[in-house]
């Protein structure tokens, strides 16, 4: 005799409902955290997320990537909107006339979209960013669990039919159109307000140096900007492809602009490019040596700070550098820029900076020297207490 499968007795409906609600609120919380973290990565000089543990596992690296922005809005902010939209529909499943059957196919479709997007983001992290965000992975798991549970609830309470079920869901929403319209309108008004007014903090670039701010070259040939007789001198060893270098540099530029008679910033090159830097044994920041050569050429032509700011800005947005565009924006010659990396004098200046950095035990960027003290990664805010 063939044994018949035992009928599965579902758990009480509230168990499933509140499990889905918990997952959706958890996703909302994770997205809010990632949105705040994304903001702080770009604006807080001392910020480092708890999951920035290595090159491969680093939320900050993912946030610094251009892929963290989609349609002029950070990806985690889209996540906040997505989970809020999901939660907007969930109460309609609790209504008596839903009979524990309605709205689940529609929520399943939303979860399917979120899960598919998770796959796309995981692919980008693996093959383009080469780093993973722990909290992002948590959100991927939440999306797949939402996909499973929305299917399971539909299956347990009335059988799961995606096409017919979705049609019935739409009809169910139509029956409650007054409350539905109010909720949807409120959501889209709030979302539109956020979308059109969201600050583009990741595009913050200092204005070209004011002609009133002094600029010059140190006795040993390094460009400086700020005070001629400084109270505080900051020497930065930097790499144009290093996100933290750009973030710190723009912060320091603001310090100089606010205190032009007290603070001096001196720039030194330390590209973490294995083609020019002997401490880098594997391919890393390929091309940053060439960018440093462009800056050295600009310094020779008296246009260092314009080129410097431009390189920091472009390097974090683009994978390649257009020399014609650089020439147009700085007034330099395209041919000279193209030949800079192999120019003996420029190459010698670059290698000198790197080897002097090595003597000072610089092993990564950014590295700063203030009054003989070395600071790696960032400068403690208390050092600037007297300059704000």
Has residue 53 got a pLDDT over 60? Answer: yes
Q: Which of 10-14, 17-21, 54-58, 190-194 has the lowest mean pLDDT?
A: 54-58
Q: What is the DSSP letter of 198?
A: -
Q: What percent of the chain has pLDDT over 70?
A: 95
Q: Distance (Å, rounded) from C-alpha 75 to C-alpha 171?
A: 32
* pLDDT on residue 208: 61
Closest listed residue to residue 268, CA positions, set 315, 212, 218, 227: 218
Q: Distance (Å, rounded) from C-alpha 267 to C-alpha 308?
A: 9
Quick check: helix, strand or coil at residue 71? coil
* Span 276-290, pLDDT tens digits: 999 999 988 889 999
> If you average pLDDT over residues 87-116, what whole number do you get?
95
Residue 222: pLDDT band (50, 70, 90) is: very high
Reported pTM: 0.80
Joined tokens for residue 49: 């997320």
CA distances from 172 to 106, 112, 161, 183, 322 (A): 11, 21, 15, 15, 56
Give the helix/strand (H/E) hosting 310: helix 304-315
Residues 332, 301: contact at Cβ < 8 Å?
yes
Q: Based on the number of CB atoms within 10 Å of its own CB, is 300 exposed (0-12), middle (13-18) or buried (19 or more)? A: middle
Look up tokens 């400068």; give the residue.
379
Task: Please count the helices (runs of H) and the strands (runs of E) in the chain.
Answer: 13, 8
Q: Distance (Å, rounded) from C-alpha 236 to C-alpha 252?
A: 10
Residues 63, 38: contact at Cβ < 8 Å?
yes
Structural domains for the chain: 13-203 (1.20.1440.130), 215-387 (3.40.30.10)
Has residue 321 got a pLDDT over 80? Answer: no
* pLDDT on residue 344: 94
> If you average pLDDT over residues 97-102, what whole number do you get?
91
Diameter over CA atoms, the chain: 98
* pLDDT on residue 387: 59
Answer positive or negative: Cα dihedral of 275, 247, 332, 301. Answer: negative
Choose the most confident range, by mean pLDDT, from 244-258, 306-320, 359-373: 359-373
* pLDDT on residue 8: 72
Q: Distance (Å, rounded) from C-alpha 376 to C-alpha 378?
A: 6
Has residue 375 got a pLDDT over 90? Answer: yes
* Span 250-279, pLDDT tens digits: 889 888 988 999 999 999 999 999 999 999
- Compute the chain's Rg from CA coordinates: 27
Has residue 54 got a pLDDT over 80? Answer: no
Give the helix/strand (H/E) hosting 40: helix 13-43
Quickly count: other Cβ atoms within 10 Å of residue 90's Cβ.
17
* pLDDT on residue 211: 66
Residue 148: pLDDT band (50, 70, 90) is: very high
> If you average pLDDT over residues 9-37, what whole number do you get?
95
> If you average pLDDT over residues 39-48, what whole number do you get?
84
Q: Which of 270-279, 329-338, 352-361 has the lowest mean pLDDT?
A: 329-338
Cα angle value 83/126/31 (rounded, 5°): 20
Q: Distance (Å, rounded) from C-alpha 348 to C-alpha 335?
A: 19
Q: What percent of the chain has pLDDT over 90?
A: 63
* pLDDT on residue 50: 84
> If you average pLDDT over residues 214-238, what whole number do you get?
94
Joined tokens for residue 313: 């800005």
Closest listed residue to residue 349, CA positions, set 286, 285, 304: 304
CB proximity list for 354: less than 8 A, separation 6 or greater: 269, 270, 271, 276, 277, 278
> If you average pLDDT over residues 140-156, what whole number do you get?
95
């Amino acid at each position: 005799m063939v044994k018949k499968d035992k009928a599965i007795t579902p758990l009480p409906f509230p168990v499933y409902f509140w499990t889905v609600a918990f997952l959706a609120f958890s996703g909302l919380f994770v997205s809010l955290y990632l949105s705040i973290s994304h903001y702080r990565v770009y604006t807080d000089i001392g910020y480092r997320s708890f999951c920035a543990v290595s090159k491969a596992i680093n939320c900050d690296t993912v946030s610094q990537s251009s892929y963290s922005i989609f349609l002029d809005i950070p990806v985690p902010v889209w996540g906040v909107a997505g989970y809020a939209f999901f939660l907007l529909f969930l109460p309609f499943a609790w209504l008596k006339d839903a009979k524990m059957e309605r709205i689940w196919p529609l929520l399943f479709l939303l979860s399917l979209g979120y899960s598919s997007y998770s796959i796309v983001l995981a692919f980008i992290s693996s093959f383009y960013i080469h780093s993973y965000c722990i909290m992002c992975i948590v959100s991927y798991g939440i999306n797949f669990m939402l996909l499973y549970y929305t299917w399971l609830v539909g299956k347990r309470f009335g059988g799961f039919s995606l096409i017919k079920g979705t049609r019935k869901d739409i009809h169910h929403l139509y029956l409650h159109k007054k409350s539905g319209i109010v909720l949807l309108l409120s959501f889209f008004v709030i979302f539109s307000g956020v979308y059109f007014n969201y600050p583009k903090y990741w595009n913050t670039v200092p204005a070209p140096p004011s002609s009133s701010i002094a600029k010059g070259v140190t006795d040993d040939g390094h460009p400086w900007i700020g005070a001629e007789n400084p109270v505080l001198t900051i020497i930065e060893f930097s790499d144009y492809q290093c996100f933290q270098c750009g973030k710190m540099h723009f912060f320091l530029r603001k310090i100089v602009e606010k205190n032009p008679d007290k603070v001096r910033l001196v720039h030194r090159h330390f590209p973490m490019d294995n083609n020019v830097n002997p401490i880098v044994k594997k391919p890393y920041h390929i091309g940053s040596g060439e960018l440093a050569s462009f800056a050295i050429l600009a310094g020779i032509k008296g246009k260092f700070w314009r080129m410097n700011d431009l390189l920091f800005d472009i390097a974090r947005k683009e994978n390649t550098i257009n020399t014609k565009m650089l020439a147009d924006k700085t007034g330099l010659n395209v041919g000279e820029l193209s030949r800079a990396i192999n120019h003996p004098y420029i190459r010698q200046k670059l290698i000198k900076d790197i080897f002097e950095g090595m003597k000072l035990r610089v092993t990564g960027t950014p590295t700063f020297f203030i009054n003989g003290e070395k600071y790696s990664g960032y400068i403690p805010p208390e050092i600037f207490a007297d300059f704000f």
